[in-house]
Amino acid sequence: MSDRHAATSPSPTENASEIGALPTSVEAFQAALQAERQRMAVEFNAQWHAQIALERQALEAEFKTRLETEIHARLGAEFQKQLQDGIAAGVAEAVQRILEQWRLSRHSRFGPSSESHQGELFNEVEAVADQAGDTQDEHEGDPASAPSLGTRPKRGHRRALPPELPRIELLIDVPEAERQCACGTPLVRIGEDVSEQLDIVPMQIRVIRTVRPRYACPKGDQAPVQQSAPAQILPRSNFSAGFLAMMAVVKYVDGLPLARFEKVMARHHVGVPRQSMARAMIRLAQALQSLHNLARDTLLDAPVIHMDETTVQVLKEPGRSPSAKSYMWVQRGGPPGRTVVLFDYEASRSGQIPVRLLEGWQGYLMTDGYEGYAPVARLPGVEHLACAAHARRKFVEAKRASPNGKSARADYALDLFARLYRIEAKLKDASDAQRFEARQTLSLPVLQKLRTWLDDTLPTVTPKSKLGEALGYLHKLWPRLIRYTERGDLPIDNNILEGTAIRPFVVGRKGWLFSDTPAGAHASAVLYSLLETCKANRREPYAWLRFVLERLPLAETIDDIEALLPWNIHDQDLAMNLAASK
């Protein structure tokens, strides 16, 4: 061994010091061996548990992944199936809804309707002639021997003309030279044949020239004397009461726009600009506002009020688009013998409007299903009724929207509604007590059948279909629909308002289309109110309005104004006033 290796090799003593002292006895050796075994066991257990934990985590992760994959696969398949089924059902429902809307649109355009005959106006003559067939015309044939008011004439005899109309007699006599027999004896009058024809004198336009002479002393000792000018409804206007009454009736009763009335006047060689007529209508409505206010006081004395609203377009409503919808709120009611119809113009359809219009009133309110009436129905003393005609109309639409216009379920509902209306028709002239008893014994069983059928059918019909909408509407309004059976004086529907007030307004709106300003809309509301109230009380509109316009400027007290309301004026007074104006 070289010196270099000898210098670097450790000695046995140094190795022993690095390893540690070896046991010097058997007991010490065994103790050291036991300690080493325990150390190695602890170290092995720790490594074993760590390995097991790693394996467990790996297995759990793998199991979780497999489980999630399987769940996702199953759920995905089920979701896809449900999604496909939902899409198919939604598409089928949408297609059904589109088809129903198409059928309704086609029917409203080309089919007959019991509520609208506007399409027949263009061929009215031909349509009426075709429908008449072999029916005897009441204005053709031999004249009736005597007036028979209220009864139809016999076949072959035309209806006698009203006896109150003035007669102009045309005598067609045999010439004097022909009144002698061939034997030389003068002929004797043994009778006569009389025939009558209805004639119309075209509108007569004239100028009323009022002359008020002035008188003065030639010496100038006193001021001139002159009679006061007669009071006029529109001071400083060259439109008389008769002209204003005719203009209002033509527009608001006959539905003729002022533009067409301007042309009528032009045919008589009188130029009256429609702007002048429109301004006169606004001023006239302002002059009649006191009558409108008194009519509202009478309306609020009614135990039952009908209410509805319809659209009107106002071009120059501040802060609103010209195409925005405004509304006419219409009410009808009043004590017996004093029927009132009121129109109120409002820019919105808010539920607070009927609350304001009916403030302080208590009674039964008949409306359709519009939720805007809910606030007023919640007021103390107000009982809410719902219109049966609107509920029935939903089933009519459902039937029309069905294939071939046939629906057994809609027909069943319509049949039950028909039974209810037949009961009401038979009770038209009955007393309130008789009507109440009949409703309890006859109407309630029919309503119970309808309710049972509704409960059975409602869960089986798609809510968005027309039949589903009809069923939902009926279910929603059911408590209010059956309340008319609580008393004999309650109405079953709102038809009296729609037919006698809403419909004339809608027909007129088709002609004049819109109001230019809110002032014009308010004027239309006042004039529609008074003229429809006049019609509801069976007064001739022109005769009544002319009577009012001639006397309202002379009224000094509220009693004087109230005396001009339609139920306070007799037909004889109106006839005498017209006769005096000729």
pLDDT tens, N- to C-terminus, the chain (582 residues): 444 444 444 454 444 444 456 777 777 878 888 888 888 888 888 888 888 888 888 888 888 888 888 877 777 777 667 666 666 666 666 666 676 666 666 666 666 655 443 343 334 333 333 444 444 445 445 555 544 444 555 665 677 888 888 889 999 999 988 888 888 888 898 999 988 888 888 888 999 999 999 999 888 888 899 999 899 999 989 999 999 999 999 999 999 999 999 999 999 899 999 999 999 999 999 999 999 999 999 999 999 999 999 999 999 999 899 999 999 999 999 999 999 999 999 999 999 999 999 999 999 999 999 999 999 999 999 999 999 999 999 999 888 877 776 778 889 999 999 999 999 999 989 999 999 999 999 999 999 999 999 999 999 988 888 889 999 999 999 999 999 999 999 999 999 999 999 999 999 998 888 899 999 999 999 999 999 999 999 999 999 999 999 999 999 999 999 999 999 999 999 999 988 887
Is 37 part of any domain? no
φ/ψ (deg, to 5) at 386: -115, 150
Is 502 part of any domain? no
Name the DSSP letter for residue 110.
H
CA 488 to each of CA 235, 427, 497: distance values in angstroms, whole numbers, following the listed order:
50, 10, 19
Task: Please check whether residues 522 and 382 belong to one and the same domain.
Answer: yes
Task: Please check whether residues 393 and 341 belong to one and the same domain.
Answer: no
Max Cα-Cα span within the chain: 202
CA angle 559, 561, 563 (to 5 degrees): 70
CB-based contacts of 112-121 (< 8 A; 24+ apart in sequence): 118/510
Query: How far is residue 502 CA from its own chain's centroid?
Result: 8
CA 127 to each of CA 42, 112, 115, 123, 124: distance values in angstroms, whole numbers, following the listed order:
112, 13, 17, 6, 5
Is 211 part of any domain? no
Task: Please check whether residues 279 and 374 belong to one and the same domain.
Answer: yes
Its sign, for the CA torsion 41, 44, 45, 46, is: positive
Task: Please check whether residues 280 and 364 belong to one and the same domain.
Answer: yes
Is 315 part of any domain? yes
**Looking at 459, 493, 527, which one is the last position of a domain?**
493
Is 452 part of any domain? yes
d(CA 253, CA 240): 19
Task: Please check whether residues 561 and 450 belong to one and the same domain.
Answer: no
Is 332 part of any domain? yes
Task: Please check whether residues 422 and 488 belong to one and the same domain.
Answer: yes
The domain tally of the chain equals 2
Task: Please check whether residues 301 and 357 belong to one and the same domain.
Answer: yes
- Of 148, 251, 195, 253, give the one whose Cα is nearest residue 500: 253
Task: Please check whether residues 373 and 270 belong to one and the same domain.
Answer: yes
CA angle 20, 21, 26 (to 5 degrees): 130
Task: Please check whether residues 446 and 528 belong to one and the same domain.
Answer: no
Task: Please check whether residues 332 and 425 belong to one and the same domain.
Answer: no
Task: Please check whether residues 262 and 339 belong to one and the same domain.
Answer: yes
Task: Please check whether residues 381 and 393 belong to one and the same domain.
Answer: no
**Looking at 438, 458, 493, which one is the last position of a domain?**
493
Count Cβ atoms below 10 Å from residue 96 Cβ, excluding itself: 16
> Can you give the residue range of the structural domain that contains 479?
388-493
**Looking at 478, 493, 508, which one is the last position of a domain?**
493
Is 201 part of any domain? no
Is 489 part of any domain? yes
